């Protein structure tokens, strides 16, 4: 009996040693593999992740544009620079919610203070959606090195703090993008003009009428709070902030719920809200659009110049 007990004890000890060794090796592997991913992520020279990294860590442009695809694909910095004499960069990213651009803003303000920020506000911006939280994975690589961004990144899930103890985890869904971003492939595939990515399609359809008041949905208070914080942080830093609704190719009846909320908050905080969604020039010309919610490269030239004229008018007015 004594022999059997001794064997059982030795077996447990052996199992514990093997388990402990496995955990230590896993931590070592995670540390080194995560370090490799980190190195190549921040070494990218093109693509979506590069533009995010450039927005957060590199640009020092006087004018920054924030928003989702309707920012990225509609505001051409070249035209804004030519008219205002100010440098400009477009930080917009396709499909990203307010959480993303608020996080990017935190990284920017940690480094420097832009003179002007344009935030493109679109219909449904405050719509409740789990996908909006999932998309925060894009900002995970910045969790360790950018403590100012952690509160918004941690909105992704209640377990994010624990998951982010791993150095590999932030890059789980990015390996292919990182590999491509370290080549010239993206530079050949997409034109990138200071963050602006032009659309070349031409819409060929009659304009339709959309009753936005019938589009009922639940709003996300976290998104509303991020929008408020975005405005407050700009005002606190003495940045001139312009909230802009860019053109749509449909005649709107009523107003979208999110747009109503966004305009009310802007009014409360005395921030300019410029609405181009009912601009007759765009509503009468489908040829300026790639689809009903994005202008194409021709429309972008006209729209960007209109934005630049508005900025110039505001700048000259304030100088008097």
pLDDT per residue as tens, the chain (320 positions): 444 554 555 666 766 666 656 566 666 765 666 678 788 888 888 888 999 999 999 999 999 999 999 999 999 999 999 999 999 999 999 999 999 999 999 999 999 999 999 999 999 999 999 999 999 999 999 999 999 999 999 999 999 999 998 988 888 888 778 888 777 766 666 678 999 999 999 999 999 999 998 899 999 999 999 999 999 999 999 999 999 999 999 999 999 999 999 999 999 999 999 999 999 999 999 999 999 999 999 999 999 999 999 998 887 776 55
What 3-state DSSP class applies to 63?
A: strand
* Whole-angstrom distance, CA of residue 21 vs CA of residue 27: 10
210 close to 86: Cβ distance less than 8 angstroms = no
Question: What distance in Å separates the CA atoms of residue 35 and residue 204, rounded to the nearest whole number?
Answer: 49
Buried b (16+ CB within 10 A) or exposed e, 203-240: beeebeebebeeeeeeebebbbebbebbbebbeeeebb
Contact 90, 63 (CB under 8 A): no
In our burial notation (b when 16+ CB lie closer than 10 A, e otherwise), range 292-313 reads ebbbbbbbbbbbbebbbebbee
Taking only the tens place, the pLDDT of each residue in 118-175 is: 999 999 999 999 999 999 999 999 999 999 999 999 999 999 999 998 988 888 888 7
Is residue 235 within 8 A of residue 269, CB to CB? The reply is yes
Q: At what angle do helices 257-268 and 221-236 cross, to 10 degrees?
A: 30
Residues 248 and 158: beta-carbon distance below 8 Å: no
| Cβ pair 28, 54 in contact under 8 A | no
Report the distance separating Cα 307 and Cα 320, nearest Å: 20
Q: CA nearest 301: which of 244, 229, 247, 249? A: 247
Distance from the Cα of residue 88 to its chain's centroid: 17
Hey, is 100 helix, strand or coil? helix
**Angle of CA points 140, 141, 143, to nearest 5°:** 65
Instruction: Give exposure, 13-28, as e/b (b: 16+ Cβ within 10 Å).
Output: eeeeeeeeeeeeeeee
In this structure, the number of other CB atoms found within 10 A of the CB of residue 57 comes to 15
Q: Are 231 and 269 in contact (CB under 8 A)?
A: yes
Residues 90-107: pLDDT tens digits? 999 999 999 999 999 999
């Amino acid at each position: 009996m004594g022999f059997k007990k001794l064997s059982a004890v030795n077996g447990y000890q052996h199992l514990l040693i093997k388990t402990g060794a496995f955990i230590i090796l896993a931590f070592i592997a995670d540390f080194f593999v995560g370090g490799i991913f980190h190195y190549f992520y921040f070494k990218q020279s093109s693509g979506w992740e590069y533009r995010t990294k450039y927005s957060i860590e590199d640009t020092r442009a006087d004018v920054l544009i924030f928003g989702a695809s309707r920012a990225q694909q509609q505001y051409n910095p070249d035209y804004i620079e030519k008219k205002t004499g100010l440098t400009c960069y477009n930080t917009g990213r396709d499909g990203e919610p307010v959480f993303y651009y608020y996080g990017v803003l935190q990284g920017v303000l940690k480094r420097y203070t832009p003179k002007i920020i344009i935030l493109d506000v679109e219909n449904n911006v405050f719509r409740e959606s789990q996908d909006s939280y999932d998309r925060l994975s894009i900002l995970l690589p910045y969790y360790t090195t950018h403590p100012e961004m952690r509160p918004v990144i941690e909105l992704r899930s209640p377990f994010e703090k624990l998951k982010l103890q791993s150095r590999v985890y932030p890059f789980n869904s990015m390996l292919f993008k990182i590999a491509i971003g370290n080549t010239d492939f993206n530079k050949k595939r997409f034109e990138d003009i200071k963050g602006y990515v032009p659309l070349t399609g031409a819409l060929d359809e009659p304009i339709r009428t959309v009753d936005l008041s019938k589009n009922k949905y639940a709003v996300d208070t976290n998104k509303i709070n991020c929008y408020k914080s975005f405005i407050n942080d700009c005002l606190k830093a003495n940045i001139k902030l312009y909230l802009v609704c860019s053109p749509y190719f449909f005649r709107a009846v009523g107003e979208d719920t999110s747009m109503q909320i966004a305009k009310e908050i802007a009014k409360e905080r005395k921030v300019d809200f410029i609405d181009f969604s009912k601009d007759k020039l765009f509503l009468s010309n489908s040829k300026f659009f790639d689809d009903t919610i994005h202008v194409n490269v021709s429309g972008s030239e006209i729209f960007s110049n209109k934005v630049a004229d508005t900025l110039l008018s505001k700048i000259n007015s304030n100088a008097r």
